Amino acid sequence: TEFKGAFEATVEKFGNLDIVINSAGIFNEIEWERMIKTNINGTIHGCLLALDYLQRYRRAIEGVIINISSIMGLQTAGHTPFYNTTKHAIVGLGRSLGLHGHYESTAVKVITICPGCTATPLLLENMEERFSKKQIEMHTEVMKKFQLQSANNVARELTAIIKHGQSGSVWLIENDEPAYQVETP
């Protein structure tokens, strides 16, 4: 597959692989079946490939998988039920693969980040192709309550999370502020 090819090319070029940023995601409530397939199955597939390659090709003592979810993996919005579902699944996947016993057998940390509203094309462009007219109206109203953050803030915070985050942890990054770990039951 194309995804596996990216792992192979990375190992061929650099000789090792220590960190995988696993971001398989689209935001399309009209094509919800494709979104579920991409967001959930793509993330699972990425984790399986990452676990395989990180165990075989890492130089560091431990490998790291960062799964990208969303603030909508921690809360909900009525106009995006299918997207919310996919992002909740990613949080659950990261928490499950990040359990202590799994880490002990693989030496791979699995951490989930949940960015808040971030100024990216995924959030801001081609709305009419991805949502019904009513969903666009609702989205416009909901977005008035949120502060957009820069993608640079997410990247900056991600660096610290990779270094200090524990396996199975979930982190929220929003409003251009420092990331913080979300306590889950």
Catalytic positions: 83
Task: Provide the 8-state DSSP code for 175.
Answer: T
From residue 70, how far is each of 30, 43, 98, 147 by CA, in Å?
A: 19, 13, 18, 15
Distance between CA atoms of residues 104 and 124, nearest Å: 41
**Closest listed residue to residue 114, CA positions, set 181, 165, 42:** 181
Whether 3 and 46 have beta carbons less than 8 Å apart is answered as: yes
Residue 38 DSSP code: I
Task: Give just the sign of the alpha carbon dihedral 154, 159, 164, 167.
Answer: positive
- Which tokens go with 124? 């801001």
The residue type of 125 is E
